[in-house]
């Protein structure tokens, strides 16, 4: 099947960051999760086991660990975001082919992550993707409301001028594609294994290869 024919009217391209614009094998989130756990231990004065349990529970229940910490404990998001994203990016490899294929997409190209925009900019630089996007949005641009909340997407898309009906969303977390699908976007799950679901139009384990099929 010619995948490209599903994107002939697409003029807005929204990319998640973590495990989407770099391969999961980079395991950046392992570093982030360790720092999240340490932050929860200190902020809530709990041991490591309880901190890990809460981190996972808040992610499942509220969309992100941060959202749970803010709603239930009044945690200030700014110091948290700075702390958890102070990680080593030195092992990330530049991806010139991916950059060229992103830049060949017609229309507007943005990054939208549940992380912070400064962290996203660092990752993009390490991947050699700086300059490939028209804008970079973090959770702070959604008022710290996380994906998968529809209101978070609506806030970012309104700020950017993205029209969902003419846009596509690339994302590694399948649950974060439900709201974009409901808003009329074309949805692409970027992950090692497919998760069949009604709100996912396409799956790929090779983002660069998928984009090559769209841009020729």
CB of 212 closer than 8 Å to CB of 184? no
Residue 82, pLDDT score:
92
Same domain, 18 and 125: yes
Same domain, 179 and 121: yes
Residue 63, pLDDT score:
87
Residue 2, pLDDT score:
84
Supply the range of the domain harboring residue 188: 3-22+93-215
Q: Both tokens of residue 43?
A: 């902020």
Residue 98, pLDDT score:
98
Same domain, 108 and 208: yes
Residue 215, pLDDT score:
84
Which parts of the chain sit beneath pLDDT 50? none
Residue 107, pLDDT score:
97
For residue 147, the Cα-to-chain-centroid distance in whole angstroms is 8
Cis, bond preceding 148 (omega within 30 deg of 0)? yes
Distance CA 141, CA 160 (A): 10
Residue 174, pLDDT score:
96
Query: In a 3-state reduction of DSSP, which class is residue 195?
Result: coil
Same domain, 106 and 191: yes
Residue 89, pLDDT score:
95
Same domain, 162 and 208: yes
Same domain, 102 and 198: yes
Q: Domain tally for the chain? A: 2
DSSP letters spanning 48-117: HHHHHHHHHHHHHHHSSHHHHHHHHH---HHHHHHHHT----TTPPP-HHHHHHHHTSSSEEEEE-SS-H
How many C-alpha atoms does 65 have within 13 Å on its Cβ side? 23
Query: What does the DSSP 8-state code read for residue 119?
Result: H
**CATH number of the domain residue 37 falls in:** 1.10.150.450
**CATH number of the domain residue 161 falls in:** 3.40.50.1000
DSSP letters spanning 5-37: GGGTT--EEEE--TTTTS-GGG-HHHHHHHHHH
Residue for token pair 């649950």: 175
């Amino acid at each position: 099947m010619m995948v490209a024919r599903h994107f002939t009217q697409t003029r807005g391209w929204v990319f998640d960051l973590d495990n989407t614009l770099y391969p999961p094998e980079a395991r950046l989130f392992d570093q982030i999760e360790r720092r999240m756990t340490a932050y929860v231990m200190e902020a809530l004065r709990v041991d490591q086991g309880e901190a890990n349990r809460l981190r996972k529970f808040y992610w499942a229940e509220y969309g992100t660990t941060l959202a749970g910490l803010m709603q239930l404990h009044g945690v200030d998001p700014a110091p948290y975001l700075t702390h958890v994203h102070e990680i080593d990016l030195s092992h990330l490899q530049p991806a010139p082919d991916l950059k060229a294929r992103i830049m060949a997409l017609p229309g507007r190209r943005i990054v939208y992550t549940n992380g912070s925009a400064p962290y996203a900019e660092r990752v993009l630089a390490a991947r050699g993707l700086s300059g490939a996007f028209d804008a970079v949005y973090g959770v702070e641009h959604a008022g710290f409301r996380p994906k998968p909340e529809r209101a978070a997407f609506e806030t970012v898309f309104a700020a950017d001028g993205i029209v969902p009906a003419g846009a596509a969303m690339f994302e590694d977390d399948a649950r974060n594609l439900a709201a974009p699908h409901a808003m009329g976007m074309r949805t692409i799950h970027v992950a090692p294994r497919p998760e069949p679901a009604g709100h996912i139009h396409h799956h790929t384990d090779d983002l660069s290869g998928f984009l090559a099929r769209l841009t020729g």
